[in-house]
Chain A
Amino acid sequence: MSERPQPLIVGAGPAGIRAAQALVAAGLRPLVVDEAPACGGQIYRQRLVPDGRSTRDLYGSEAPKAEALHRDFAALDGKLDYWPQALLWNLRDGRADIMVAGTSRQVTYDGLLLATGATDRILPIPGWTLPGVFTLGGAQIALKSQGCAIGNRIVFLGSGPLLYLVAWQYMKAGAKVAAVLDTAPFSAKFHLLRGLPLFPGIVLRGMRMTAELKLGGVALHYGVGDVRIEGKNAVEAIAWRQDGLEHRLACDGIGYGLALRSETQLADLAGCRFAFSSRDRATLPERDTAGRTSMPGVYIAGDGAGIAGADAAERSGERAALALLQDRGLPHDATRAAALEAELARIGRFRAVLEAAFPFPAHWVKDIADSTTLCRCEEITAGEVRAAIGQFGVHELNRLKAVSRVGMGRCQGRVCGAAAAELLAHETNRGIEAVGRLRSQAPIKPVPLTLALAAQQGAAE
């Protein structure tokens, strides 16, 4: 068996860590590749240096989970290969191109487990490219990992549990939070009561945070729309419409996000089949309840094939690893696998509740002004995209990319892709499921040209 190449795990967040642990426990020696300098993923991201804060300060109620993951991964030292600060930028012919320490290395693997996570989902609004506007995730990283606030007077805008969590974390850290602007009406929050029987602790914690924000003097506004960010060289104010009335608030930092979107590029390069998910409003890699994709030997765990959060990521990481073991003809704990799937199903039901309580403001799309920048890499406005759709009779996202350059920039549509899909669907009077998805291209993130060329030559030899 030692003749077989090692399994490859991409990502060292909660899913990747639990997957690695399960493979090591079964006697395998996986290679774990991760872009960050230390394990934990975005949710349990570690600081570059100790800074006097406790894990409780950093991760709040989730501190025990963060500590356990960091500790358990450290305990695997010597039993696996771990490449931090490494970017897996291409998959082809069963091999992976990985940039590490300034060179590209080619790795053959037997079993690929993708735990690539998610980033914030965004719709463009006027002024969103101004300095001082960060994603909710970005605002959280500034605080958690760097101990910085994104301004002196901060507004948090959007939808999703992260909206209130980040606002609360900023307030607790001593930053001035001026307001939380929720895109959903207050009535949507009553859906959370349906979540009480499933996960009472999470629902009550959310309610407590909201109450503490109010007690702390943070204004909470619901049903916010027509949002505009004002400023010349940086954020100066935010304006919005609510119940037919205009509102405006001076601020110098804004955290913005509309829940999360999956990072699916590597699943695409691996040849996995995709299917539309109405819950995520995105076309995502297919996976069964164990984490198997349509490609033999390729597994997905965590948020990379649909958003379910960190607790689900831990479980789906372990579950996918058990599937890999089973497919390899190795002993695996079927009872444990069934228990994990049951827990994942319960989290999935809770996820539906959260989706109702923090809905995506799909109706915003029709109001995106023509002058608003849609693609921040290539600086393409919504008006230019609309014009391209009309002029070329575009019905599909990759065609739209070809004629308008949307999604062609350095981020490869990570930031603008969801908005481009929503806009295309709206302009052509079709459902979001009908417009397709942006195909992923290697390198999935920028790598030096010389390095890509060297890898090509290596492959040709």
Chain B
Amino acid sequence: MPLLRRLIRADHPAIPFTLDSERCEGRAGDTVLTAILTQVERLRLSEFSASPRAGFCQMGACQDCWVVLESGERLRACSTALTAGMSILTRRARTA
């Protein structure tokens, strides 16, 4: 079940991306964090105990929301705008 509930912007233009190879749609104005968490309930698994994480501070301080793209690039989900065609992985345990 998605973690975040969209209250507005539901009719904004769709931005396609993939999440663990599944096709998804975000909305114009989404951060990567919002785009993922309006689909599923976690961003990643923690490095040591592989427990689910979904960010914490949403202001670029806690560093808990780093995700990996298929290209290997890492990005901080709360402070990165979603762009069309992003291929995001949440299943890899080690993202550091």
Asked if residues A379 and B48 are in contact (CB atoms below 8 Å), the reply is yes
Interface residues on B, range: 35 or more
Asked if residues A131 and B53 are in contact (CB atoms below 8 Å), the reply is yes
In angstroms, Cα B65 to Cα A376, docked, is: 12
Asked if residues A409 and B34 are in contact (CB atoms below 8 Å), the reply is no
Does A119 reach chain B (CB closer than 8 Å)? yes
Asked if residues A133 and B56 are in contact (CB atoms below 8 Å), the reply is yes
Q: Which residue of B lies closest to A170 (CB)?
A: B7
Shortest Cβ distance from residue A116 to the other chain B in the assembled complex, whole angstroms: 10
Number of A-B contacts (CB under 8 A): 142
Q: Which of B1, B6, B62, B96 contacts A414 (CB 8 A)?
A: B62
Does A35 reach chain B (CB closer than 8 Å)? yes
Shortest Cβ distance from residue A384 to the other chain B in the assembled complex, whole angstroms: 12
Asked if residues A138 and B54 are in contact (CB atoms below 8 Å), the reply is no
The proximity string for A residues 300-317 relative to B, scoring 1 for CB distances below 8 Å and 0 otherwise, is 000000000000000000
Evaluate whether A51 and B12 lie within 8 angstroms (CB atoms) in the complex, with A142-B34, A151-B3, A175-B5 already known. Answer: yes
B76-92 interface (Cβ within 8 A of A) = 76, 78-79, 81
Does A331 reach chain B (CB closer than 8 Å)? no
Residues of A within 8 A of B29 (CB): 47-49, 51, 146-147
In angstroms, Cα B5 to Cα A120, docked, is: 23
The proximity string for A residues 130-166 relative to B, scoring 1 for CB distances below 8 Å and 0 otherwise, is 1111110111011100111111100000000000000
Does A197 reach chain B (CB closer than 8 Å)? no
The proximity string for A residues 4-45 relative to B, scoring 1 for CB distances below 8 Å and 0 otherwise, is 000000000000000000000000000000011100001000
Asked if residues A135 and B57 are in contact (CB atoms below 8 Å), the reply is yes
In angstroms, Cα B58 to Cα A147, docked, is: 13
The proximity string for B residues 27-71 relative to A, scoring 1 for CB distances below 8 Å and 0 otherwise, is 011110010011001110011110111111111111110100000
Evaluate whether A48 and B4 lie within 8 angstroms (CB atoms) in the complex, with A132-B54, A141-B58, A445-B60 already known. Answer: no
The proximity string for A residues 267-311 relative to B, scoring 1 for CB distances below 8 Å and 0 otherwise, is 000000000000000000000000000000000000000000000
Does B23 reach chain A (CB closer than 8 Å)? no
Asked if residues A137 and B58 are in contact (CB atoms below 8 Å), the reply is yes
Residues of B within 8 A of A151 (CB): 3-5
Residues of A within 8 A of B6 (CB): 147-148
Q: Which residue of B lies closest to A138 (CB)?
A: B58
Shortest Cβ distance from residue A93 to the other chain B in the assembled complex, whole angstroms: 26
Q: Which of B4, B12, B49, B59 contacts A149 (CB 8 A)?
A: B4
Most chain-B Cβ atoms within 10 A of its Cβ — which of A174, A175, A376? A376
Asked if residues A131 and B42 are in contact (CB atoms below 8 Å), the reply is yes
Residues of A within 8 A of B49 (CB): 379
In angstroms, Cα B25 to Cα A314, docked, is: 40
In angstroms, Cα B1 to Cα A345, docked, is: 49
Residues of A within 8 A of B1 (CB): 234
Shortest Cβ distance from residue A440 to the other chain B in the assembled complex, whole angstroms: 13
Q: Which of A131, A174, A377 contacts B7 (CB 8 A)?
A: A174
In angstroms, Cα B15 to Cα A49, docked, is: 14
Evaluate whether A119 and B61 lie within 8 angstroms (CB atoms) in the complex, with A130-B52, A133-B56 already known. Answer: yes
Q: Which residue of A lies closest to B13 (CB)?
A: A49
Residues of B within 8 A of A36 (CB): 79
Does A352 reach chain B (CB closer than 8 Å)? no
Most chain-A Cβ atoms within 10 A of its Cβ — which of B28, B46, B58, B66? B58
Shortest Cβ distance from residue A407 to the other chain B in the assembled complex, whole angstroms: 13
Asked if residues A415 and B61 are in contact (CB atoms below 8 Å), the reply is yes
Q: Which residue of B lies closest to A50 (CB)?
A: B29
Evaluate whether A175 and B7 lie within 8 angstroms (CB atoms) in the complex, with A135-B57, A137-B58, A379-B48 already known. Answer: yes
- Can you list 26 A-B pairs, Cβ within 8 angstroms, ordered by A? A35-B60, A47-B29, A49-B9, A49-B29, A119-B59, A120-B57, A130-B52, A134-B55, A134-B58, A142-B34, A143-B7, A146-B4, A148-B6, A149-B7, A151-B4, A151-B5, A174-B7, A175-B5, A175-B7, A234-B52, A376-B46, A379-B49, A411-B62, A415-B57, A415-B61, A446-B66
Q: What would 14 more interface pairs be, CB under 8 Å, given A150-B5, A152-B5, A446-B66?
A: A51-B29, A131-B41, A137-B59, A146-B34, A147-B6, A149-B7, A233-B52, A234-B1, A234-B52, A377-B63, A378-B48, A411-B61, A411-B64, A414-B61
Which chain A residues have a beta carbon within 8 Å of chain B's beta carbons?
A: 35-37, 42, 47-49, 51-53, 119-120, 129-135, 137-139, 141-143, 146-152, 173-175, 233-234, 253, 263, 376-379, 409-411, 414-415, 445-446
